[in-house]
Amino acid sequence: MNLVPGIQIVPSERLIFDIPVCDFGWANAFSFADELASLPFGQTVISFLNANNANLAMSDKDYRDILKRHIVLPDGHGVDIASRVFHGRSFPANLNGTDFIPALMTYMSTPRRVAMIGARRDILERAAENFAKHTPWHSFIPVADGYFDVSESDAVMARVREIAPDILLIAMGSPKQEKWIDRYVGPGHARLVIGVGALFDFVADDVPRASETVRRLRLEWLHRLVHEPGRLWRRYILGNPLFIYRVLHHKVKLMLGRSPATARHVGQRLI
């Protein structure tokens, strides 16, 4: 059911640990996000769910509740495993933010004003420059790095309001960025808000992407672990087995009828 005037695509969702996740293919995901950025009013927040975020959400109710208020896209092999276990099929596409956001910028033919918050200042500025080289018909505006004191949040968002962007990208890592968005970002700041994690590091070429072959094999997590073992070993060495355990445990709950796993529509979270 279409609950927002002007939106033509209202996708169904699959519940992953009771968090609704959109089952878009690439084309519909691009069209949907483009429509949201084109609306003359309102605001929608897009977040991503991967195995690490799912682990965090399972132990952090506030974060989990925030994700339920967002449009959530599937990111990575872990949520595909969960989808196969819970629903019998994979998601149509791996809409990870590192690939999705640059491709979305290419897809959008209408020039957009894109405000950017997060990462180190040098990385933020270099990411904006590289975005502009990639899609020069858009304007990419660095607003603030990700290291300002929380007491400065309202001032940061006042600058965003002055810029009047169509799209706001926030790169603070999860769950910090989702909680910060929920607390400080509201209608009037941008029509489309996206929490993008480490995206600016990749766009700025500060962190190398895995090769196409490694990505096709769904082993980018291993590439990242090799390049950043000190920061990521807990996420992957401990987190991946924990995620699989939680998937199996949740499946048992589903089989016992103690947790829903039905698909539904997303329109109620477009505000």
- The interaxial angle of helices 153-163 and 176-184, nearest 10 deg, is 70
What is the C-alpha separation between 231 and 247, in angstroms, rounded?
24
Instruction: Report how far Cα 255 is from the mean position of its chain's Cα atoms.
Output: 30
Contact 142, 168 (CB under 8 A): no
DSSP string, 15-51: EETTEEEE---HHHHHHHHHHHHH-SS--EEEEEE-H
- Confirm whether 74 is domain-assigned: yes
- Confirm whether 140 is domain-assigned: yes
Query: What pLDDT is attached to residue 117?
Result: 98
- Confirm whether 226 is domain-assigned: no
Q: Where are the alpha helices (DSSP H) in 135-208?
A: 153-163, 176-184, 199-203
Locate the DSSP E strands across 111-183.
113-118, 139-144, 167-171
**Paired sense of beta strands 12-16 and 19-22, if any:** antiparallel
Contact 187, 195 (CB under 8 A): no
What letter would DSSP give residue 91?
A: -
Mean pLDDT by runs of 10 across the 271 residues of the chain is: 51 91 95 93 94 95 96 94 95 94 97 97 97 98 96 96 96 96 93 96 84 72 73 78 91 77 54 55
Query: What pLDDT is attached to residue 270?
Result: 56
- Confirm whether 126 is domain-assigned: yes
How many folded domains does the chain comprise?
Answer: 1
Burial label, 212 (beta-carbon count in 10 A; 0-12, 13-18, 19+): exposed
- Confirm whether 129 is domain-assigned: yes
What is the C-alpha separation between 34 and 110, in angstroms, rounded?
9
Query: What pLDDT is attached to residue 210?
Result: 66
Query: What pLDDT is attached to residue 2?
Result: 35
Locate the DSSP E strands across the chain.
12-16, 19-22, 44-49, 71-74, 113-118, 139-144, 167-171, 192-195, 264-265
Residues near 221 by Cβ (< 8 Å), separated by ≥ 6? 76, 77, 236, 240
How distant, in Å, are the alpha carbons of 48, 58, 183, 219, 221 from that of 210?
19, 28, 34, 8, 9
Query: What pLDDT is attached to residue 266?
Result: 55
Residue 167 belongs to domain spanning: 20-214
- Confirm whether 46 is domain-assigned: yes
- Confirm whether 265 is domain-assigned: no
